[in-house]
Amino acid sequence: MEDAIINTNFHLPGQKELYVGKVRDVYFIQDKYLLMITTDRISAFDVVLPRGIPYKGQVLNQIAGKFLDATEDIVPNWKISTPDPMVTFGRLCEPFKIEMVIRGYLTGHAWREYKAGKRSICGVPMPQGMKENEKFPAPIITPTTKETVGHDEDISKEDVIRKNIISEDEYEQLEKYTYALFERGSRIAEKMGLILVDTKYEFGKQDGKIFLIDEIHTPDSSRYFYRAGYAERLNNGEPQKQLSKEFVREWLMERGFQGREGQKIPVMDDDFVSLVSDRYIELYEKITGEQFIKSDITDVIERVEYNVNMFLSAYTR
């Protein structure tokens, strides 16, 4: 189970900087491009777990790539090329300092707020008398700040504009893009027997033009319910069957880990790592409706480095 990329430290043509996130290693190239390597790291409760999951990076990178391609008629996006199954190369944009979270159903963070007695979130009212996982009359946008340290925080549209995080015109454009992307994603999910419950989009600008950036509609950034049985479970007050990495969180919680100080990460043995890998492949096939083709991971780090160097040497010379 060592055929997984935990980290990279390449020295690439035109490289200016390297940013290491929870899952992605992002190389800044020539001050105008990004090369994003979706590693096999997996995080839960804001903690990166110690072992990598083979094929996870390929799964996430290819799902995001498919949905970027499927929505480029709605909004231009940052993607230019995919030099390797785990890698996306694209435009370096100046990110807006908010994430556009959109919710079609009362679940997760919104439900916890609702259960605590609140009837608005991010300044958006929520109807009285709703049940957990019930569909909103219409999707709601609940933006969050993008913090470099600590957790992102809920913020209202009014505060985004008042604090001059972005202009009113730009925010309204992001709203239009967000609703249209969510509608497209929901229609695609429906064809796959799924419900796109909630998700987030990130946007940036290059040369004054707005682009969709980062990943979209992956199981790491989105929540999916299975459509079959949804209404019955809702009526019976039962948990919905989810297509997400929630099963990893559940495995950790069963072993007493929720990312709190002093808690020890449970040992992830080979059987569990293999199970998680299989589940991610299952997610890919369910979301895309296509068979997952495993790339050769015999020497995965060497493969990625070779493909990236060959691409950049030709593209940036």
Q: What's residue 151's pLDDT?
A: 65
Ranges of each domain in the chain: 95-243
Q: Taking the CA of residue 114 as centre, how many other CA atoms within 13 Å lie in the half-sphere pointing to its CB? A: 19
Q: What b-and-e string marks burial along 121-139, b requiring 16 or more CB atoms within 10 Å of the CB?
A: bbeeebeeebebbeebeeb
Whether pTM exceeds 0.85: yes
In 3D space, the residue among 44, 19, 54, 78 whose CA is nearest the CA of residue 210 turns out to be 78
Using the structure block, give the residue that is written with the tokens 């209202």: 156
Using CA atoms of 150, 155, 157, 160 in order, give the dihedral in degrees to the nearest 10.
Answer: -50
What amino acid occupies position 110?
A: A
Length of the chain, in residues: 317
CA 276 to chain centre: 17
- List Cβ neighbours of 263 (8 Å cut-off, separation of 6 or more): 256, 257
Q: How far is the C-alpha of 317 from the C-alpha of 314, rounded, in Å?
A: 6
Q: What's residue 1's pLDDT?
A: 43
Q: What's residue 149's pLDDT?
A: 58
Distances 295 to 36, 52, 122, 299 between C-alpha atoms, Å: 18, 16, 42, 11
- List Cβ neighbours of 91 (8 Å cut-off, separation of 6 or more): 32, 33, 34, 78, 80, 206, 211
Q: What's residue 251's pLDDT?
A: 93
217: left (phi over 0), alpha (psi -120 to 50) or beta: left
Task: Enumerate residue ranges in the chain where pLDDT < 70.
Answer: 1-2, 147-151
Phi and psi angles of residue 293, each rounded to the nearest 5 degrees, phi first: -100, 110
The correct CATH number of 95-243 out of 3.30.1330.60, 3.30.470.20, 3.30.700.30, 1.10.287.1080 is: 3.30.470.20
Q: Taking the CA of residue 234 as centre, how many other CA atoms within 13 Å lie in the half-sphere pointing to its CB? A: 16
Q: What's residue 26's pLDDT?
A: 97
